[in-house]
Structure 1
Amino acid sequence: MGKNQHVVPKEDKWAIKGEGNEKYTKITNTQKEAIDIAREIAKNQQSELVVHRKNGTIRDKDSYGNDPRDIKG
């Protein structure tokens, strides 16, 4: 399982940052563009996508890894 990918505000743009990384993976003009790129990274790394609002709080989370909840029916 890879690092969770965070979409965070960066001045007047949006950035993708792997959890625990000091540097941004990519900076984009729109949140949507950052989410799309971060989603692909999270899928490839089987990790989580965490989307933040402009104020830094978490807006949404999506898991693309092994979900610890057993929801088989």
Structure 2
Amino acid sequence: MKLDHYYIGHTCEELKERLRKHLSNHSGFTARSKDWELVYSEPYSDKSSAYRREREVKSWKSKKKLKVMIEK
């Protein structure tokens, strides 16, 4: 099933490992699709900064704004 959604989150793991987990058999939002791909990332030196940025991006609620960020 193709969801046509962006997943926004932060992790302390390597990005390849996090993506592998999203593509594995599990329950939750990311389990609904098996075609997730990494299209954008930002490095942060600490978890709290990464979490703040995650909340900021999620607050946009705009696919158009996300696409602009990804294309930069």
TM surpasses 0.5:
no
In proportion to residue count, which structure has more strand? 1
TM-score (norm 2): 0.41
TM-score (norm 1): 0.40
